Amino acid sequence: MDRIFALASARGKAGVAVIRLSGEGTWSVLAELCGGLPPARRASLRNLTWQGEAIDTALVLLFESGHSFTGEESAEIQVHGSMATVQKLLQILGLFEGLRLAEPGEFTRRALENGCLDLAQVEGLADLIDAETESQRRQALRVLDGHLGRRVEVWRQGLLRAAALIEATIDFADEDVPLDVTPEVLGIILQLAESLRSELESSRQAERIRVGFEVAIVGAPNAGKSTLLNALAKRDVAITSEIAGTTRDIIEVRMDLGGLPVTLLDTAGLRETSDAIEHIGVARAIERAMAADLRVFLLTTPDEKPSLELQDGDIAILGKADIIGEGVSGVTGQGLAELVDLIQQRLSHRVPDSGLLIRERQRNAVGNALGSLVNAERLMISGSGAELVALELRATIRFMELLVGRIGTEALLGEIFASFCIGK
């Protein structure tokens, strides 16, 4: 396998730039640049030279095979972060035979292929790199730390036990094995099925943390929705006007509310209208508001009823407090902090229940595993042949292995690593 190198830190001028190398024989490259090798896994100050020319003074770190991120012999060079220094060193590294620039995600792909990470951890790493809020960081780190992989291994061991018991009755019917394994096998199946259902039920909140919650601001025309959105966003993202029906399309603003990723939606004012374009805007507003995780209804009078049925967690509050005297105002900021706190509280209640399945691929694998497990349960209860039960248990095990990438990963890798930067 080729030796690879790449700039691992951001491009552009910086205090320090990090260049990574990986692959068998990587240390020999460092030996030529440093005039000798420092101890492994100890940051050492070295003068980098090439053909008698001084390049820079750098911190050099060496990692043995089996003790690096990729699982291969690896190294990191930390140089001063000037663009000229980085470019010169990358140019020199490109001159070494068998050493080439890494492709996007190639370091992580080698970690996967060498068994240092499973596929779920790779996806967690990608999400950690993309994390914009504290909740996204915590969730991605849980997956990267291997929580999902360890849970899958517990599930898998239970399945292997159940499959072994069933297959023992098939292959060794005349030997000294339990004649009726149904109670133990059925117990394993029921317990595991409940665990998978629980994980699937909590996966939606995990997905919302990953991609963001949607909060729709809903109300009648001129209720102050666009003004409120501008105040929350702290910039003019929506046109405001005294003319009713100014907002016709949905305006989205992505924000960090108390560590939660939130997309605020400014929707068209809800009313009956003969204007064909406004009618489309109202229909879209209703559809998007009903699909949102939370709705904030801005009311124009204390006795006004919300234009849509309130769902669990929804907020109804008076708008234009600068005129009415109570509620929230995007003009003066009255009640703004309290509204933000309330939105954060309503969404935060959903976060502790979030699971470890953060991607559609993972949910599909667990859903398919649960389907096979339910089939196995049905077959056992109906007294069908042990061979059929064994087939369903083996199918469940395969879906578990798909989940962590032990089998069938090749078709997924191109899509996954396309989101990685070079040097990771």
Which residues line the annotated binding site for K(+)?
A: 222, 241, 243, 246
Evaluate whether 78 touches 59 at the Cβ level (below 8 Å). yes
Across 260-324, the runs of DSSP E, i.e. the strands, are: 260-266, 294-299, 315-318
Nearest to 51 by CA among 92, 19, 97, 83: 92
Query: How many C-beta atoms lie closer than 10 Å to residue 347's C-beta?
Result: 23
Across 294-338, the runs of DSSP E, i.e. the strands, are: 294-299, 315-318
Reduced to 3 states, what is the DSSP secondary structure of residue 242? coil
Evaluate whether 156 touches 192 at the Cβ level (below 8 Å). no
**CB neighbour list of residue 91: distance below 8 Å, 6 or more residues apart:** none
- Give CA–CA dist 211/344, Å, rounded: 16
Nearest to 127 by CA among 115, 106, 143: 143
- Give CA–CA dist 80/169, Å, rounded: 67
Annotated binding site for GTP: which residue ranges? 222-227, 241-247, 266-269
- Give CA–CA dist 328/332, Å, rounded: 9
In the block, tokens 């935060």 appear at 348
Partners of 254 in the β-ladder: 263
- Give CA–CA dist 151/307, Å, rounded: 45
Helix (DSSP H) and strand (DSSP E) numbers for the chain = 14, 11
Helices (H), 81-239: 83-93, 106-113, 119-130, 134-144, 147-171, 182-211, 225-233
Annotated binding site: which residue ranges? 222-227, 241-247, 266-269
In the block, tokens 């229909």 appear at 283
Annotated binding site for Mg(2+): which residue ranges? 226, 247
